[in-house]
Structure 1
Amino acid sequence: MTELEKGPTGRRRGRGARERILGASQQLFREQGINRTGMDQLCAAAEVSKRTAYQHFGGKDELVAEYLRQFDPSVLPGVFDRTDLTPRERLLAAFDIPADTPLCPYIAAAVELHDPQHPASRYARDYKKAVATRLADTARVAGAADPEQLGEQLALLIDGAAARTRVLDADAFPTAAAIAAVLIDNAIPAAGSDRRPVTGDVEG
């Protein structure tokens, strides 16, 4: 880069501009939504010119897709890559989500965009499929008779708990975890000593 461009506040820009744009998108998209956030506002928050923004991202659609890619590119490594847990425990660990966690950005983006062909919608769809696949792979190692079915069931529970927690402003994950434990035990009848007591009641 032979010349550093000046942003809207006059500060010299260049290296780090991409990171600032992504940082601003993470904050603004979460706080006020994708559709209500314009490029002018993003550029002001990131302290870059629109020219710089479009040099890093071809447009807002590309930026939204990249915004989603930043969240969890390895698909829940803090759950599925844990070696201190048995496969069954890893399945249940997927439900250990703090109650104050914001609504899943992939769900939020897909709902807001209303366009299945939008690059961000496609990425959200691919990510959700990847979560179900990792759940199914773990269920297979745990000995599930039908790991793909169990993976889909658990993925549905996770997304349902995330949406219900957001709508009701009440933690739905303990109930979802209790339901998951029943599903897992039914799918893996030979779990034996790998099972641990279910904590929490399954609510209607």
Structure 2
Amino acid sequence: MTELQKGPRGQRRGRGARERILAAAHDLFREQGINNTGMNQLCEVADVSKNTAYQHFTSKDQLITEHLRQQDPGTMPEVFDRADLTPRERLLAAFETPAASTLETTPLCPFIEAAVEIADPEHPARILVREYKKSVAVRLTETAREAGAIDPELLGEQLALLLDGASVRTRALGTGAEQTAAGIAAMLIEHAIPQTAPLRL
């Protein structure tokens, strides 16, 4: 087997380079935004040459799109695929956050970030954002239907809007809005889904 070409500071190009590029994109886009991150800086952080970067991603636009795909490829499986929870409990779980969460650990939703920073509605990343946000609403609606909601489509859209609003408010104010959002979600679910037992928060 021939030796792989080496990139900056002796790193081998090829194997592992793609993962390093995506990891660098994740950190830089999160810390300083998409538009403020250039390919030169990204390559330096990923420890790859620009030639190597463009072998894996033909453009920054393609990198942004793949970065978003990596964020949540299964549409919140940690919530919607939990067999240990009832459908009603899964709806509430969508609003749970780790006890130690801070603005640094729960930044603005990367899909919202991309929608704000990328002006072109036909940009592949913007198209992916629309598809993802619709998929979240669909999964919420499906779960609401399983839970017996009177109008699952309405509840799904309400909860999707609430999730996005909490993310933006947390980013804007520097304080978590998740607890307030969880309380509002509980009230919406209480109203929309007939029940015989009290909600578990």
Taking structure 1 as the reference length, the TM-score comes to 0.91
Q: CA deviation at 1:151?
A: 0.3
Q: Deviations over 1:169-198 (max 9, x none)?
A: 12211111111111112111x2212x3266
In the aligned structure 2, how far is the partner of 1:89 from the partner of 1:141? 11
**Aligned position for 2:25:** 25
**Aligned position for 2:35:** 35
1:83-162 pair list within 5 angstroms:
83-98=83-98, 99-100=101-102, 101-162=106-167
**Would you say how many aligned residue pairs link Structure 1 and Structure 2?**
196
**Aligned position for 2:196:** 192
Judge conservation of contact 1:5–1:52 (CA < 8 Å) in 2: no
In the aligned structure 1, how far is the partner of 2:46 from the partner of 2:176? 33
Relative distance call for 1:8 and 1:89 in structure 2 (3 A) is same
In the aligned structure 2, how far is the partner of 1:68 from the partner of 1:51? 22
Q: CA deviation at 1:13?
A: 2.1
Q: Deviations over 1:80-119 (max 9, x none)?
A: 1112211111101100024421110000011011121111
Q: Deviations over 1:105-147 (max 9, x none)?
A: 0000110111211111111111111110000000000011211
Please tell me whether residue 182 in structure 1 is matched to residue 184 in structure 2.
no
- Which structure has more RCO (C-alpha within 8 Å, separation ≥ 6)? 2
Contiguous gaps of at least 5 residues in structure 1:
199-204
In the aligned structure 1, how far is the partner of 2:77 from the partner of 2:127? 21
Give me the identity figure in percent. 66
Judge conservation of contact 2:190–2:199 (CA < 8 Å) in 1: no
Relative distance call for 1:197 and 1:44 in structure 2 (3 A) is closer
> Once superposed, which parts of structure 1, at least 4 consecutive aligned residues long, lie more than 4 Å away?
none
Please tell me the root mean square deviation across aligned C-alpha atoms, in Å: 1.5
In the aligned structure 2, how far is the partner of 1:58 from the partner of 1:47? 18
Secondary structure of the residue aligned to 1:9 is helix
